[in-house]
């Protein structure tokens, strides 16, 4: 029986060439799998037909936008996931979504190997392969660009030699990955970290420096889930899409950073995530209102570890699953409304209200009606500072 390889297929030059390349290198039949996580571009049926025209024995396409939003983006919102306090895991979230479909296709078609188009320098190779091995330890993985030195020049030559139906002329100066949660741009002149990004780098966001009217929005959450925008019910996908449009029009969600990759190098990345940044900003503030102090303090530690695990490609790991349980529990009372002003590249919180609020006006006010018993504070401070005071006496005596 002929071996079968499932290929993560985008429809572009590299993965289209991979179909014939893998067949020649391994003698295996190739099944192409394309997953729509809201990246836009060509119709899925067009992509499916191209895969078949390029030599795939089977081609599957999946509309996974709602799945991606609800099962991958939503946990990141609940976790306030910002890698290095800035990056909302745009690409890292899409990889386990794609992995799940690749593994399902491999089982369905009796494939023994899964292939992807990643290089040996980035994080995505780890995300794909660690994810695949967690869901299906018996599958092996190959990466033609990394394992068979399939450079772009070789890909173009192979494409022309075989007469594949792929445009090979114009190449973008950037490497771009995008989905409904955001967009990642790298390479080209951005590799010089002194160079500032120019406007043609951006697609999801408008120039925040351009004068325009501010946009006020109210986001409603129930147990950490965005359920309405300005009082109108939305799915998680719709919440992201609507805020992509509205926050993006105000230049919200632009990020230019040098980040620590898992493979040990530092990389300059430019990201856009208008909906993601707006939703995480709103969610964080609602947590400030509704989550008890000690739980909130500990959750911030959990958030950082959760974010690092996801960035590092360990979405399906036991620790990540266990932390999911904590994060969901911590979101039980995160319900209410957050009002934000979207303007000048920022999502600024201007109002909060919640039936689960722990904010007590009568305790917080300095005016008449104050119910806080200030006479208790003196003794509290004495006890709270006692251990430090005792240690200070010892240290001063030496």
H or E segment to which residue 182 belongs: strand 182-186
**Which two structure tokens, joined as six digits, stand for 154?**
């070789």
Catalytic residue among 14, 36, 177, 312: 14
Alpha-carbon span 210 to 163, nearest angstrom: 46
Catalytic residue among 48, 50, 95, 346: 95
DSSP-derived 3-state class of residue 31: strand
**Which two structure tokens, joined as six digits, stand for 71?**
């099962």
Catalytic residue among 4, 16, 124, 177: 124
| 275 Cβ contact partners less than 8 Å away, ≥ 6 residues apart | 180, 181, 182, 239, 240, 241, 242, 243, 244, 247, 248, 253
**Mapped to the 3 state alphabet, what secondary structure does 293-350 carry?**
HHHHHHHHHHHHHHHHHHHCCCCCCHHHHHHHHHHHHHCCCCCEEEEEEEECCEEEEE
**Which two structure tokens, joined as six digits, stand for 65?**
């936008």
How many other C-beta atoms lie within 10 A of the C-beta of residue 328?
14
Q: Is 14 a catalytic residue?
A: yes
Catalytic residue among 45, 147, 175, 377: 175
Q: Is 230 a catalytic residue?
A: no
Q: Which residue is associated with the tokens 């899925």?
A: 44
- Its sign, for the CA torsion 344, 350, 355, 357, is positive
Q: Is 172 a catalytic residue?
A: no
Q: Where are the alpha helices (DSSP H) in the chain?
A: 13-26, 44-53, 65-68, 74-78, 90-109, 124-135, 144-147, 152-162, 236-248, 274-290, 293-311, 318-330, 361-364, 375-384, 386-397
Q: Is 175 a catalytic residue?
A: yes
Catalytic positions are 14, 95, 124, 175
């Amino acid at each position: 029986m002929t071996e079968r390889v499932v290929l993560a297929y985008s429809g572009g030059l590299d993965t289209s060439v991979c179909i014939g390349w893998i067949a020649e290198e391994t003698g295996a039949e190739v099944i192409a799998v394309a997953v729509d996580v809201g990246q836009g571009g060509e119709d899925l049926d067009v992509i499916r037909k191209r895969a078949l025209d390029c030599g795939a024995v089977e081609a599957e396409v999946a509309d996974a936008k709602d799945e991606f939003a609800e099962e991958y983006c939503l946990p990141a919102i609940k976790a306030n996931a910002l890698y290095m306090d800035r990056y909302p895991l745009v690409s890292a979230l899409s990889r386990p979504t794609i992995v799940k479909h690749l593994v399902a296709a491999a089982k369905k078609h009796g494939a023994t190997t899964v292939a992807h188009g990643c290089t040996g320098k980035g994080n995505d190779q780890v995300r794909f392969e660690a994810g695949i091995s967690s869901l299906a330890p018996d599958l092996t993985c190959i990466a033609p660009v990394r394992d068979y030195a399939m450079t772009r020049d070789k890909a173009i030559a192979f494409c022309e030699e075989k007469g594949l139906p792929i445009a090979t002329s114009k190449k973008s100066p950037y490497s771009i990955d995008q989905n409904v949660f955001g967009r990642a741009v790298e390479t080209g002149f951005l590799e010089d970290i002194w160079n500032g990004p120019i406007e043609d780098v951006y697609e999801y966001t408008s120039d925040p420096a351009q004068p325009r009217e501010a946009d006020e929005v109210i986001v409603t959450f129930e147990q950490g889930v965005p359920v309405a925008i300005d009082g109108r019910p939305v799915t998680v996908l719709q919440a992201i899409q609507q805020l992509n449009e509205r926050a993006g029009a105000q230049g919200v969600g632009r990020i230019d950073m040098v980040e620590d990759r898992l493979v040990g190098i530092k990389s300059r990345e430019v990201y856009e995530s208008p909906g993601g940044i707006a939703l995480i900003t709103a969610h964080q503030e609602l947590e400030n209102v509704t989550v008890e102090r000690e739980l909130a303090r500990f959750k911030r530690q959990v958030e950082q570890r959760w974010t690092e695990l996801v960035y590092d490609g360990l979405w399906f790991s036991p620790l990540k699953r266990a932390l999911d349980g904590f994060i969901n529990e911590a979101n039980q009372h995160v319900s209410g409304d957050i009002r934000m002003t979207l303007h000048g590249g920022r999502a600024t919180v201007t109002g909060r209200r919640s039936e689960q609020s722990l904010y007590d006006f009568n305790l917080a006010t300095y005016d008449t009606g104050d119910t806080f018993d200030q006479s208790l504070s003196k003794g509290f401070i004495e006890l709270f500072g006692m251990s430090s005071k005792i240690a200070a006496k010892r240290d001063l005596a030496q």
